[in-house]
Amino acid sequence: MRSTSILTACALAGVGFLLAASASAPGPITFDEIAQRAGVTFVADSSPTPLKHQPEPMVAGVAVFDYDNDGYPDLYFVNGADMPSLVKTGPKFFNRLYHNNHNLTFTDVTEKAGVAGSGYGMAVAVGDYDNDGHPDLFVANVNGNQLFHNNGDGTFTDVTQKAGVAGAVYYDRKMWSTGAAWIDYNNDGKLDLFVVNYCHWDPDHEPPCEINGHRASCNPRLYKPLPNTLYRNNGDGTFTDVSAVTGISTHLGRGMGVAIADYDNDGFMDIVVANDDAPNELFHNLGGKRFEEVAQDSGVALAEGGNVISGMGVDFRDLFNRGLPDIWITAMEKQTFPLFKNLGHGQFMEVTSPAGLGLSTAEMSGWSNAIADFDNDGWKDLYVARSNVIDNVALFSNRTYEEPSTVFRNLGNGKFQNVTETAGPAFNHPEVYRGAAFGDLDNDGRMDLAVSVLNGTARIFHNTSQNSNHWLLLRLKGTRSNRMAIGAKIHLTTSSGAQLYNHLSTATGYACSSDPRVHFGLGPAPSAREITIDWPSGIHQTLHNVPADRVLDITEPAR
């Protein structure tokens, strides 16, 4: 790995006109499954019972992040637990933290680090909330949520009670949380916390549900929806629930996936929530003071035909290299995986079928998903972790519980192609996939995947795609902005003239947190002619003539 530190900026001389990214002759996108030899033995245990309790199908999230700042991303897996109030005895299940040994192997350091957790886990979100340079962990649970402060010495401290983020109460119960995103919504340089909540579930008063005489998890419509929660960072290790004053808590849903992006380029990050059997939500940030829910007016609340879908995972990134982040959501079979193209001026248009994702996803059930450039051609591709929701679906249908992972190549012309068959035999193997986070685990410039398997061993898909394309990984350090630079927007022009866009966010897919380093595939270009960074503070920084194929450290200038 080569690492270069660039601390200076110069004025923006000009912006080139938009060009299509050119790439070398495409080779297959391929992955090698390495979990066993990498030493990753994690099993996501949901404590399954014959009663099919509502949380059982939904475990759990994954994080790819560098907890010890050694330059290599580590892995954190969220786990279930004994079913609250229902299963009184039995084993305890714990979250696991794996340290990256720099050679595609990992060591379990959970006990030393102190991040085993104590809840029935759902999701994880990574963010440096106190700007000390060490990324912290927020874990969303069915019961009490947890915040682990990174002490900078390889250990974490549970600071949930001090911070005040254990979870809000609604209908006289702590809300069941399924996801979270760190976001500096008011651009004050401190990361705030957005928590996604699912439904009002009482484990002691759960309706029995059946399909064709077989016990199954209930339709979520049998449960009352919940509002989401926004915590403002007070800067002293504590947070204040500002859900009401910012307009977040007036909107109810059954939230699952959450992602952030500045979709209208007004300088403030917005939030999209994929809801299960309820309209999706798009919270437009009104100058860091309030949020306006605009999903219906913007065209992202419903899928084609005005249908509500079982939204699960969501990612919010620019797929068409126009400087406008798009929205891609996963759902159940017969619903497709809707792709909403950002038209600008606050409007989106669903392009699922024209993009080639209609028929190809109609028979799929998807959970976590990711938008990332897996072949470094300059066009971000699509990945989805799949499986059916119902574990005994084969008893009353011709469907199977297990499904293979799927990757769609971005052809650069507005269309996507399912290239899973050539991605490798292990990648094609059906499993009960749930959470999926992406990142470059060995710093070779290719995006890898860490995927949880429900009641099975996790999978690590090492990207082995072979081509001559180049790449850059940007590791940003905020000074006036939040230290992790979450919300920073990057516009890159390659030496061949291609215009590329990305932004920094760790919130991806369903219940997951991905590598905070911002990745760019450069296609055949051996360098970036210009990199422009819009920091959350409002500072603009421009770098010139940056060689490719390296991890690049960039610090926000003072002004």
Nearest to 184 by CA among 522, 505, 461, 553: 505
Q: Which two tokens stand for residue 39?
A: 């030493």
> Mean pLDDT, to the nearest integer, of 460-471?
97
Q: Which two tokens stand for residue 302?
A: 């419903």
Tell me how far apart the alpha carbons of residues 116 and 139 are, in angstroms, rounded to a whole number.
10
Tell me how far apart the alpha carbons of residues 217 and 389 are, in angstroms, rounded to a whole number.
9
> With 0-12 CB in 10 A as exposed, 13-18 as middle and 19+ as buried, what is 205?
exposed
**Given a cut of 60, is residue 72 above it in pLDDT?**
yes
User: What's the pLDDT tens digit per position in 512-558?
Assistant: 999 999 999 999 999 999 999 999 999 999 999 999 999 999 999 98
**Given a cut of 60, is residue 99 above it in pLDDT?**
yes
> Mean pLDDT, to the nearest integer, of 111-124?
95
Phi, psi values for residue 420, rounded to 5°: -65, -40
Mean pLDDT across the chain = 93
- Predicted confidence at residue 304, as pLDDT, reads 87
> Mean pLDDT, to the nearest integer, of 363-369?
97
Place 22 in a pLDDT band, splitting at 50, 70 and 90.
Answer: very low
Beta-carbon-side half-sphere exposure of residue 557 (alpha carbons within 13 Å): 16
Place 83 in a pLDDT band, splitting at 50, 70 and 90.
Answer: confident
> With 0-12 CB in 10 A as exposed, 13-18 as middle and 19+ as buried, what is 418?
middle
Greater confidence (243 vs 217) lies with 243
- Predicted confidence at residue 478, as pLDDT, reads 98
- Predicted confidence at residue 2, as pLDDT, reads 36
Nearest to 49 by CA among 224, 215, 274, 275: 215
- Predicted confidence at residue 9, as pLDDT, reads 31
Place 231 in a pLDDT band, splitting at 50, 70 and 90.
Answer: very high
**Given a cut of 60, is residue 16 above it in pLDDT?**
no
User: What's the pLDDT tens digit per position in 185-220?
Assistant: 999 999 999 999 999 998 888 899 999 999 998 999
Residue 375 DSSP one-character state: S
**Given a cut of 50, is residue 402 above it in pLDDT?**
yes
> Mean pLDDT, to the nearest integer, of 48-64?
94
**Given a cut of 60, is residue 495 above it in pLDDT?**
yes
User: What's the pLDDT tens digit per position in 430-440?
Assistant: 999 999 999 99
- Predicted confidence at residue 87, as pLDDT, reads 44
Place 25 in a pLDDT band, splitting at 50, 70 and 90.
Answer: low
| Percent of the chain whose predicted confidence (pLDDT) is above 70 | 94
Neighbouring-strand partners of residue 230: 194
Tell me how far apart the alpha carbons of residues 181 and 132 are, in angstroms, rounded to a whole number.
19
Residue 360 DSSP one-character state: H
Q: Which two tokens stand for residue 393?
A: 């679906």
> Mean pLDDT, to the nearest integer, of 110-129?
96
- Predicted confidence at residue 13, as pLDDT, reads 28
**Given a cut of 70, is residue 266 above it in pLDDT?**
yes
| Percent of the chain whose predicted confidence (pLDDT) is above 90 | 89
> Mean pLDDT, to the nearest integer, of 400-422?
97
**Given a cut of 60, is residue 24 above it in pLDDT?**
no
Tell me how far apart the alpha carbons of residues 313 and 510 are, in angstroms, rounded to a whole number.
4
**Given a cut of 50, is residue 242 above it in pLDDT?**
yes
Place 84 in a pLDDT band, splitting at 50, 70 and 90.
Answer: low
**Given a cut of 90, is residue 106 above it in pLDDT?**
yes
User: What's the pLDDT tens digit per position in 268-326?
Assistant: 999 999 999 999 999 999 999 999 999 999 999 999 889 999 999 999 999 999 999 99
User: What is the pTM assigned to this prediction?
Assistant: 0.94
- Element spanning 348, H or E: strand 347-350
Tell me how far apart the alpha carbons of residues 286 and 1 are, in angstroms, rounded to a whole number.
41
- Predicted confidence at residue 147, as pLDDT, reads 98
